[in-house]
Structure 1
Amino acid sequence: MVAGALTATLVAVGSGTVASVGVAAAAPALSAPAATQAGAGAVLSNVEWLSDRKVALWIDSPSMGTPIQVQVLLARDWNITPDAKFPAVFMLDGLRATDEENGWTYETDAEAFFADKNVNVVLPVGGESSFYADWADQDNGRNYQWETFLTQELPPILEGQWRTTQTRGVVGLSMGGTSAMFLAARNQGFFDFAASLSGMLTTTSLGMPQAIQYAMIDAGGFDSRAMWGPPSAPAWAEHDPYLLAEHLRGVSLYVSSGSGTTGPYDQPSDIPGVSTNYAGMGLEILSRLTSQTFATKLNTLGIPAQIVYRPSGTHSWPYWEFELHQLWPQLANAIGVPVDKPACSAEGSIGGAAAANGWIGDCLTPAYQVAGGTVQDFRFGRIFDGGSGAQPVAGRIGGEYSRTGGPGGALGFPTSPELGTPDGRGRFNHFQNGSIYWTPQTGAHAVGGVIRDEWARQGWEGGPLGYPVGAEVPTPGKDGAVQGFEIGAMYTSPANGTHAVQGEIMRKYAETGWEGGWLGFPKTSEIPVKDNGRFNEFEAGNIYWSHATGAWTVELGPIFDAWEREGYENGRLGFPISDKFAIPGGVQQNFQFGYVTVMGDTVEVH
C-alpha cells in the first residue's frame, strides 16, 4: 500500500474470463517472436564512460542494421566488488524518446535514485514511437526491431564484461508501460518484474488502434500500419497486454495511473480540477481506463498484481519519477536485492574531503583498499587517497578516469580536486602521471606523459592547441603516438620527440597522409617566420604557410636545397605557392616570385 493513495492489490480469486466491452476476450496464439528467429550476434562497437558508474554502449544491431545506444547505470557495488554480477532493470522511455538520452535520466532523478541500488540499470536510447516492438516494415527512415534487440542481441553483451545476470525487471512509462507488459508476456521467463506507469494496456479495444495511430503521427510522423499492419492484423492482438495477460503469470506486476485531474505536479487552469496540461489529462484518462480493464483481466485470471490508482495527476514526468520511488521495494524483492543500502560512514582524510565537498553526497560503500591507496564511493562521485591527501573525482572526469583504469591505470591517484580552467570553459583534475580536462564541447580526455609535458610547456588549454578532443593513441604501423586537440594534434616518436601540428599546416599534413605519408613525423612544433607565416619541420620535408600563400609542402632534396641557397622565404623566391609537380622531363615547384625546376641532375632557379 502507498500512503495517501487509493490502492488495490489484486489477488487470485478463481478462474474464468471476463471481457470488457469492445475488448476481445480470447488470448492470441503467439507466434515465435522475431527475436527467437534472428538470434544474437550484436557487436559492441564503442564505449563512452559518462561517469564512474554510467556508460554509453554503442551496439551494432544485426536486426536493425545500425548502431544502437544503450546507457547503463552500474550497480552500487560495481567498484568495490569487481568480480560480482548484478540483476538488471530495463527502463523504457515514452513515445517521444530521443536519440540523445533516455528520458528517465534526462527528465527524472533516476540516476541519483539508483546510485545506492545494487542493480545495473539498462536505458535504451532512441525508439521514438516504436513501442519497443519488431515492426513489420521500415518507416520514416527507421528499421525498428526493438524486441529482437532487447531480448536477444543485447543480453549477451550485458552478461559479458558488463557483469549482468539473467535476473531482470522492466519499468516503462506511457508507450514504455505498454511495452513492458507485452515484452514480459511475449518473452516468458525473461523478466521477473514488470511495471507499467500510465501505460495503454489494451491495444485492440474499440478506438485504440486509431488513438495509437494518431499519437505516433504526432510523435515523429510514424505510421502504426508499418508497425503491426492494419488494426485487423494479428500483430495487434499479439502485442495487446490485455490479451496476453495469461502469459504474465509468475511475473511480479505493478500497474499505476493517475486520474487526469490536476495533481500536485500540475499547473491548474481557471477551470477547477483541470490543469494546463490538456493533452496530459486526456492521455492519463485513457491510461486509467485501459489499466482498469487490464487489472480486471488479471483479477479474473487469478494473477496477483499491485494496482495503484492515483486520485489525481496527468501524463507527465514528475508523476513517473514519484512512482519509480514507490515501486522500488516490490522491484527489489522480485529481483532479490536489498531495498536499502548498507550502513556506511566517511572517516579520516576521506571523511574530511567529503565534508569539504558536500556536492558529492552520501557514502554508498565503506572505504576499501586499492593498489597504492584507499577509495570510497559516494552518490555523485568517488574520493581517492593515495597517501598524499584525499581528492574527489566525479562526473565526466570520473568516467574518463575509470576508462583509463582508475588509480591502477596510467594516471595514478588524483593530486588535485576538480578545478575550473582560467577561461571558464572547462574543468580538470591533475593526477600523479597526467591530467583529465573536460568541456561541454570537447568531452573529458586524459593527457599524460611527454604529450602533457609539451602541452603544458605551450600553455595548457590556453596555448595554441586548446583542449584535448580525444585520447592518446598509437600511430598505426609506426613507433609513436598522437593525441587530437581542438586546433591540431600532438605527435610523439622516439626518434623525433614531441611536437604540435595545427591549423592550416595540419590540414596540409592530412593531405599527405599524416605520419604515414611521405613527410613522416614532425620534428618541430610550429615556428614563426616573416609576414606572420609559420612552418613545421618533418622527417622528409617541411610545410610552410602564410596568409597570402596558404600551406604547401617543400620536400627535402634538390628543390629544397636550391630554395635554401636563395634564403628560404626571406630570399628572392618568397613562400611556396604550390607543391612539387611533374613537368616534361622533370619536376617543378612554384614560389611567390619564381620557380625551381629539376631536369635530371640539373637544378634551375627561375
Structure 2
Amino acid sequence: MRTGLARFGRRGAAGAAARRTATAAVIAAALISPFGAAGIAQAAPVALAAPTQTQAPSAATVTAVDWLSDRRVALWIESPSMGTPIQVQLLLARDWNINPAAVFPSVWMLDGLRATDQESGWTAETDAESYFADKNVNVVLPVGGQSSFYSDWVDQDNGKNYQWETFLTKELPPILENDWRTNQTRGVVGLSMGGTAAMFLAARNEGFFKFAGSLSGMLTTTTLGMPQAIQYAMADAGGYNSKAMWGAPTNDLWAQHDPYLLAEKLRGVSLYVSSGNGVAGPYDPPSGIPGVSSNYAGMGLEILSRLTSQTFATKLNKLGIPAQVVYRPSGLHTWEYWQFELKQLWPQLASSLGVEVDKPSCSVSGAIGNASGANSWLGDCLTAEYNVAGGRAQDFRFGRVFFNADAGAQAVAGAIGGNYQGSGGPAGALGFPTTGEFGTPDGRGRGNAFQNGMIYFTPQTGAHAVRGAILDEWARQGYEGGPLGYPVLDEVPTPSKPGAVQGFEIGAMYHSPDLGTHAVQGMILGKYGQLGWENGSLGFPKTSEIGPIKDGGRFNEFEGGNIYWSPLTGAWAIRNGEIFDAWKSVGYEGGRLGYITSDQFDMDGGGIQQNFQFGIITVKDGKVTIAP
C-alpha cells in the first residue's frame, strides 16, 4: 500500500496536492458552511419518481483478458451503452483452483471520485488483494469512472459518455455469470463517491445486491447545499460538470439518485454505514493545532460524510430498516481508514452472501511443504493440496506451488503466475515449472523455467512465455541480453500462413515450418510491416538480421526478396527478380549504385523502376537498364 494524501476518494500526487491546497481549503469551507454544527438542513419533500428503466442493451463483449497474477485478472469489455472498452478487474475466489466446478458470490468494490483508468484504488491503495485471497468470493473491481458516481449521465462531458449503471447492472452480469463462475448473490462496498453509489444502486435495482456498504459516502444528494458541494468536488476531481450528470439541481434525477429519498427501497438489504468525523486521527498529517490536520479537503469531506450519514441513518431508523452504523471518533477522508473499515464490515458482508468468515484450516507437507518453507514470501496456505494434470498443487496467499515427479516442487507467483494461469497452467503448453523464480543477469527482470518453455517478466514489458523454436533461436542470440531484448507479447499463430510470431522489445521473431526461425528488428521490421508482414510480397524471413555491412548497414533475406537498411538511406525492400539480379551484377551496396533509396514502383508508360544512391534500375518491355 502506498502512503500519502487521499482526496475525495483517490490519492493525488504530492505535487497536485500542493497545487490544490488553497482550493481544498475553500472547498472544505464551502461544503461545511451550509449545514453548521447542528446537522443537515432538510430540503422540502421531493416527489420521487420510479427509477428509470433502461432498455436491455446489446450484449457487451470481452475483447481482451490479461492475467495479472494467478488470482487477479483484467477484463477489457466493449460496452454498447458507453461505446468504449471498460476495464474490470477480478480477484478470484479462494477455491477457484481447487474446486473448478464451483460458482461464487461476488463483492463489487466501487472507487472514489478520483478513480483512474489504470487501476482501482482498492488494489492500488489498500491491501484488499491479499486480504480477499482467503475469502470465497469473486471481487469485482470496475476501473475508471472518475467523478461518475457510477450512474447514467444525461449528457457527455470531458469526452466521457458515462452510462455506468447500465454497464454494471445490465452489461457486466452476463459476462461474470457465463464466463467467470459468478452467481447472482452480490454485495457492494463503496468509498466516498462509491459509497453514495453503493446505496442508490442497491435501491434503484431492487434485489440486485444483498449487501450495501458506504464508507465515508455522501448519503444525501438533494438536501440544502449538497448539489453545490457535489459540483465543487466534481470540478476539483477532473473538471466535470454535475449538470451533465443529472441536470440542474431542480431536475428530478437528483432525487432519483438520493440514498436518503430512496431509503425505503433498501428494505431487506444488509446495510453498513461508516464515517469518521474530520478530527485528525492516527493516519493524518498534523497541522500544529490539536485535532486539526493539514489535509483540509479530507477534513471537510469527512465532516460532510458524517453529517449526511447521520441524516441517512436517522431516516433508516424511522423506517424500521436495520443497519450497522459506525461513527469513528476521529479520521479524515483517507484510504487508511477505508482499509480498516473493509475488515470491520467483512463478517456482516460474508454472512449476507452466505460464505464463511474465516478460511478453513489447511496445512503443508511433503515436497510442496518443503518448497513453501524455502519461499516464505508465499505466505500462509489457502487450500489443501489438490490434483492438477500430471501432478499436485497448493495455493498460498501470494502464489502457488506445483509438484510433478519429474520437475519437483516449484513456486510460481505474481505476473509470471498470471501468465502461466492464463496459458492453462500444467495442462497448457508450458507443462510444469522446473525452477523457482530467478533474477536475470541484467537486474531488470525475473523468470521461471518450465518443462516446455520459460516465462520472463519486467515491470516495463509484463510477463510473457517464450517456447519452442522461438525460444531456441532467442537463446542462441543471447536471451534478453541479445539484440531483441525481453518479450513484450506472447507467441501467436500467423493469421494466414502456417507459422508463428512473437514480439520483443527491439523486434519480432518469426517461425515458419519451411524456413525456420528468424528475427526481424528495428527499421527493417518497420518496412516489413509496411509491406504486409508475411502476407506481403516478401513472405517469411529466411535469415535474421545480417551485418554490419558497408557503412554500418544491415539486411534481412526473405522468401520474396531482401530489406536493406543503412544510417544514410533508411530501410528499403528489393524484390527477387530482374532489378535484384541487375543490382547484384554491379556489386550490391558495395558497387557503383550503392544502397537502395526507394521501393520498386511502376513507371508512367509501363515498366518498373527502383532508385539507388547513385543511379536507377528500370525494367521495360523485357529490357533491364542500369542508369547513373
Q: Does 1:330 align with 2:330?
A: no
Encode CA deviations 1:81-134: one digit per residue, 9 max, x unaligned: 111100010000011111111111111110010000000000011111111111
Structure 2 CA distance for partners of 1:261 and 1:602, relative to 1, 3 Å: same
1:55 to partner: Cα distance: 0.7
State the TM-score, normalizing by the size of structure 2. Answer: 0.91
Asked whether 1:376 is paired with 2:394, we answer yes
* 2:81 corresponding residue in structure 1: 63
CA distance in 2, matches of 1:186, 1:219: 25
Aligned counterparts of 1:420 and 1:156: Cα–Cα separation in 2: 41
Judge which range, 82-91 or 264-273, deviates more.
264-273
Structure 1 length normalisation: TM-score? 0.95
Measured at CA, do residues 38 and 426 of structure 1 come closer, stay the same or move farther in structure 2, by a change above 3 Å?
same
CA contact (8 A) 2:279 2:291 kept: yes
Structure 2: distance between partners of 1:235 and 1:23: 15
1:245 alignment partner, one of 257, 263, 269: 263
> Which of 315, 320, 339 is matched with 1:297 structurally?
315
Give 1:26 shift: 6.2
1:517 corresponds to: 536
Partner of 1:189: 207
Identity %: 73
The alpha-carbon distance between structure 1 residues 398 and 27, as it changes in their structure 2 partners (threshold 3 A), is farther
| Cα 1:21/1:68, change in 2 over 3 Å | same
Judged with a 3 Å threshold, the aligned counterparts in structure 2 of structure 1 residues 197 and 162 are, in CA distance, closer, same or farther, namely same
Aligned partners of 2:309, 2:88: CA distance in 1, in Å? 29
Q: For the residues of structure 1 that align with 2:321 and 2:133, how far apart are their CA atoms?
A: 32
Q: Which residue of 2 aligns with 1:546?
A: 566
Aligned residues: 586
Q: What amino acid does structure 1 have at the position aligned with 2:218?
A: M
TM-superposed deviation, 1:24: 4.5
1:206 to 224, 231, 247: 224
Secondary structure in structure 2 of the residue aligned to 1:160: helix
In structure 2, what residue type is equivalent to 1:495?
A: D
Q: Deviations over 1:229-286 (max 9, x none)?
A: 1111111111111111100000000001111111121122211111222211111111
Q: Tell me the residue number matched to 1:593.
A: 614
Q: What's the RMSD between the two structures over aligned residues? A: 1.4
Aligned to 2:10: none
1:463-505 deviation line (CA, Å, top 9, x unaligned): 1111111111111211111111111111111111111111111
* Aligned amino acid, residue 581 of structure 2: D
For the 8 Å contact 1:40–1:152, the answer to whether it is kept is no
CA gap of 1:39–1:589, structure 2 versus 1, over 3 A, is closer
Corresponding residue SS for 1:246 = helix
Of 454, 457, 460 in structure 2, the residue corresponding to residue 438 of structure 1 is 457
SS state of the match for residue 392, structure 1?
A: strand
Counterpart in the other structure of 1:407 = 426
Please tell me whether residue 78 in structure 1 is matched to residue 96 in structure 2. yes
Match of 1:31 in 2: 51
User: What are the equivalent positions in structure 2 for 1:216-255 lying under 5 Å apart?
Assistant: 216-255=234-273
- Counterpart check, 1:135 vs 2:142: no
Instruction: Give the 3-state SS of the residue equivalent to 2:73 in structure 1.
Output: strand
Counterpart pick for 1:321 among 330, 336, 339: 339
Query: Cα deviations across residues 421-467 of structure 1 (Å, max 9, x unaligned)?
Result: 11111111111111111111111111111011111111111111111
User: Are the structure 2 counterparts of residues 188 and 533 from structure 1 closer, same or farther at C-alpha, using a change threshold of 3 Å?
Assistant: same
Between the aligned partners of 1:304 and 1:481, the Cα distance in structure 2 is 60
Deviation at 1:22, TM superposition (A): 1.3
> Given residue 127 of structure 1, which amino acid in structure 2 is its aligned partner?
G
Residue 416 of structure 1: which of 420, 425, 435 is its match?
A: 435
Distance in structure 2 (CA, Å) of the matches to 1:23 and 1:349: 67
User: 1:115 is paired with a residue of what secondary structure?
Assistant: helix
Structure 2 distance, partners of 1:23, 1:300, is 18
Between the aligned partners of 1:289 and 1:605, the Cα distance in structure 2 is: 87
- The 3 A distance-change label for structure 1 pair 192 and 24 is farther
Q: Measure the CA separation in 2 of the matches of 1:576 and 1:230.
A: 65
Unpaired runs of 5+ residues, structure 1, are 1-18
Partners of 2:597 and 2:227 in 1: CA distance: 68
Moved more, 320-329 or 525-534: 525-534
Alpha carbons 1:24, 1:204 under 8 Å: kept: no
Distance 2:152 2:530 in 1: 45
CA distance in 2 between counterparts of 1:559 and 1:145 reads 59
Is 1:54 equivalent to 2:75 in the alignment? no
DSSP-derived class of the 2:179 partner? coil
Question: In the aligned structure 2, how far is the partner of 1:362 from the partner of 1:174?
Answer: 32
- Which residue number corresponds to residue 479 of structure 1? 498
CA displacement 1:321-370 (0-9 Å, x = unmatched): 00000000000000000000011112111111111111111110111111
Residue in 2 that maps onto 1:425:
444
2:118 corresponds to: 100
Aligned-pair CA distance for 1:20? 7.3
Moved over 3 A (4+): 23-27
2 CA distance for matches of 1:517 and 1:40? 37
8 Å CA contact retained: 2:93, 2:136 = yes
Which moved further from structure 2: 504-513 or 559-568?
559-568
Q: Determine which of 229, 233, 236 is the counterpart of 1:215.
A: 233
Amino acid at match of 2:476: R
Residue aligning to 1:171: 189
Task: Give the distance between the partners of 1:545 and 1:265, measured in 2 at CA.
Answer: 59
After superposing the two structures, state which structure 1 stretch, 531-540 or 122-131, moved more. Answer: 531-540
2:68 aligned counterpart, secondary structure? strand
Worse-superposed segment, 438-447 or 556-565: 556-565
2:599 to 579, 582, 585: 579
Letter in 2 for 1:593: F
Gaps of 5+ in 2: 1-38
| Aligned-pair CA distance for 1:564 | 2.0
C-alpha distance in 1, partners of 2:304/2:47? 22
Partner of 2:317, secondary structure, is: helix
Q: In 1, Cα distance between the equivalents of 2:47 and 2:394?
A: 52
**Secondary structure, in 3 states, of the residue corresponding to 1:527?**
coil
Aligned to 2:590: 570
Does the CA-based 8 Å contact 1:38-1:63 persist in structure 2?
A: no
Does residue 355 of the first structure (1) align with residue 398 of the second (2)? Answer: no
Equivalence for 2:136: 118
Moved more, 551-560 or 204-213: 551-560
Structure 2 partner of 1:283:
301
- Establish whether residue 494 from structure 1 lines up as the match of residue 513 from structure 2: yes
Whole-angstrom distance in 2 between the partners of 1:256 and 1:421: 47
Indicate the residue corresponding to 2:19 in structure 1: none
Contact in 1 for aligned 2:607/2:619 (Cα 8 Å)? yes
Query: Given that residues 40 and 308 in structure 2 are in contact (C-alpha distance below 8 angstroms), is that contact kept between their aligned partners in structure 1?
Result: no
Pair 1:469–1:294, CA change in 2 (3 A)? same
Report if the CA contact (8 A) 2:46-2:255 is conserved: no
Query: Amino acid of the residue matched to residue 133 of structure 1?
Result: S
Distance 1:105 1:594 in 2: 62
- In structure 1, how many angstroms separate the alpha carbons of the residues matched to 2:88 and 2:607? 58
